[in-house]
Structure 1
Amino acid sequence: MQHAQYQLIIVGGGPAGLTAGLYAARGRLKVLLLERGATGGQVLVTDWVDNYPGFVEGISGFDLMDKMTAHADRFGLEKRFATITSLELTDNIKTVVLENGEALTARTILLCTGAKPKKLEIPGEYTFAGRGVSYCATCDGPFYRHQKIAVVGGGNTAIQDALHLTKFADRVTVIHRRDTLRATKVLQEKAFCNSKIDFIWNTQVTAIKGDKNGVQSLSLKHRNDEESTLQVTGIFIFIGTTPNNELFPAGHLRTDAGGFIITDADMATSIPGVYAAGDICSKNFRQIINAAGEGAVAELAIEHYLGNQTLEQPLNCSE
């Protein structure tokens, strides 16, 4: 058998990657977690997590991921912060090439690259990015104190972040292309009862307008084809996610129409020795808890795949 530096390399340090890393380190696999930014993924910019079991009063996204990272560190998970430039997944030994040219090899790879916010792709969106256009309420909400802003979307993220933005803005207008929200009922109830939030239904934003100082207004098109203008100084866009799949080998990794990885019940992909977990996977629901669960399932399946190979780490009988 060809020698590999690691038994497992985990690509991505969100809830799925950290959980898998915790399990692998605890199981004494020779494992490396690679993350290009900070561990935690999208959860780092989530204001409040109110539905993760065990945290009765809720917990901030940052604190939750800090605890997950510390838990993995307790078992000695090896982590490196680096940018990956290419992946070779089809050979028996997998290769990960870093930005500095270094090549790392492993028997198995777990892809936990997650997803990023989907864009509206309308005039003004890129022009005013960072100057009134945002995809992160936690990051940018404090810049909009006593202002009028808009939130686009009707899912959990949109409504939860609209509620968060009421801490700063005087008025938050939720613009949704349908006549009902997709968010959970408890979030809907909170939003409908919040005097700072109003709704524009059956409507799409067609353009974002402003000047050198930033966003000034939104052009709206309603279902009856009528058009109107909404005066705001900021727009927060939460219309879903798109997969971080730029590094994946085309034609070898089976994906759905949206580019998300298709896996089996063990989180195995169409390439032997390659697994996926978290928001990068094709599924109906993307939650912190199922990402963590998928990370655990993937790692246990990887241990079985590796066939209980002899551990490279020496036993420490003094523990």
Structure 2
Amino acid sequence: MTCTFGPAHCFHEGSMLMVCAYVYAAGAAFAGYIHVRRAALREHGHDSLLVHVRRVRFFPALVGVAFASRAAWFVLLDTHAMQDPNAFGGYDDMLVFLSWLDVTVDLYPLGVLLWNKLATLLYISAFALLLQFWADMLDHTMREIRAPAELSRPARQRRVLVVAIVWMYVIEIALLLGKTFCIGEPLWLTNSDGWCTALFSVILALALGYDAYRLRRYFDAQDYSRVLVSVARRVTLLGLLCSSLFILRGILLVATPVASLRATSTPWLYYAVPELAPGCLVLALMHVKHDGRDRSIFTPTERTPLVSPELMLSV
């Protein structure tokens, strides 16, 4: 135990929170490695004519920052940052009175809870990119057989997704401000973090599961090929794993009273497994092996996605 910031704010190196922080830090390093390697091998789709191929290259970066933010949150929780010990052996949030605004500000949400919300927002945004990538590529491959009336459907789906993401950020920012300025917050505001995370997780799970099902149906209707079977297995695995873990997490957060407090006592169940397993699986599938040849000539890649629709659908 290291007490760099005083006896009330010690680092407990072997605590559950710190172990989770170590694992999240390793996940962030892995995401950074994947991002840098794909950029070095020019596998980020910079030369693609398809915007959604270029957009999905940000997935490793978003997941990496999300994992780093979650690790920082766990460290701050372990050291009781922005809190003071009370007479009952617990901790109370630090309060600051701003005389020029005549308002009392709770420093805990701004200094600690902010990292939790940032991690959640970036993580869901990353998977929203993957979701839109799958939907756009499936639409691209099936454009020739679609009826004219159905051609505008992908554009509507993109608008709905963008609006949902914007509202997610607005709601989380509003809740953070509410916790900062509402001293002695009501119970519903205390539980709001868990409820919102549960709602976002379930919606994302249903959307990913639906698109994975659509992709699998598309693959099953095509002629057999090794590449197609490999990509179909990837999509099915991702769809099942992400959907099941996100839904399970949503159920746990809704069913647990004062979810944010219970979640921090069992961080593996509420945070580490539902986030690290899907995120690291996608990152592992995005890993590129360089064979020393000019891939733009020998193998269809994200730079030449029109050559092979089934490869376009692979992450």
User: Structures share a fold, TM > 0.5?
Assistant: no
Which structure carries more helix by proportion?
A: 2
Higher strand proportion: 1
